[in-house]
Amino acid sequence: MRYIDRSILLILVFAAAGASVFAQGTETFSDPNVEYTFEIPDERWKMTVKPSAADPQVEYVFVDRNDGHFSLRKTSMAQGGLMSDVIREEEQKLQFMRGYVAGKEENFNGRLVGAIFNFEYVERGRPKSGRYYFLRSGNTVYILRFTGYRDKLRSIQHYTDAIARTFNLKS
C-alpha cells in the first residue's frame, strides 16, 4: 500500500512540474488597439511590430526572422463570399515571388474556422515556405501569415498551429 501511495505522489509531483514548465512558456497576446487575442506558445517568439491606433498590424519573429516570421492582417469579404476567393486573391500577390510553388490547401478548425494555404518560394538562393491561416468571423477574414526557411518553418508548425488554434475575438 505504501508503495502505491509513493508512486501516486511521484506522478502528481511530475505532472505538476510539467504543467508549470508548459505554463511558463505560454503568453497571451492582447492589445487595446485590436479586437483579437491569441496564445504565444513559446517565449522564443518576440514581438517586432506592436499594434497602435493608427496601424493595427502585429508581427512576431521566432528566434530569427528566417526561422519564423508571423504577421497578422485583416481583410473583408463580400456577404456570402467564399473563403477560396480570399485565398486566391492572396495567392495572386504571392505568384510574383521567385520560385513560387503553390502547395495544398487544408481545412482548419480552431476557435475560428477557416483554411490553411501552404506554398514554397526561394529567397537569396534558400528555399523558404509559407503557411497562411485564413480565419473567418462573419465578413471579416484574419490572415495569419507565417514564413521562414522551409525546414525551420516545418519544425515549428506545432507552434503556428497553436497560435492559429487559440486565435479568438474579444467578447
pLDDT of the residue at 92: 95
10 pLDDT higher than 70 = no
Architecture of domain 27-169: 3-Layer(aba) Sandwich (3.40)
Q: In the numeric block, which cell numbers belong to residue 20?
A: 508549470
Identify the sign of the CA torsion 30, 35, 36, 42.
negative
**Whole-structure pTM over 0.75, yes or no?**
yes
How many residues appear in the chain? 171
d(CA 47, CA 106): 27
For the segment 15-66, what is each residue's pLDDT rounded down to a tens digit? 444 443 444 568 999 999 999 999 999 999 999 999 999 999 999 999 999 9
SS3 47: strand
Looking at the chain, the whole-number percentage of residues with pLDDT higher than 90 is 81
Give residue limits of the domains in the chain.
27-169
d(CA 51, CA 5): 52
d(CA 59, CA 14): 35
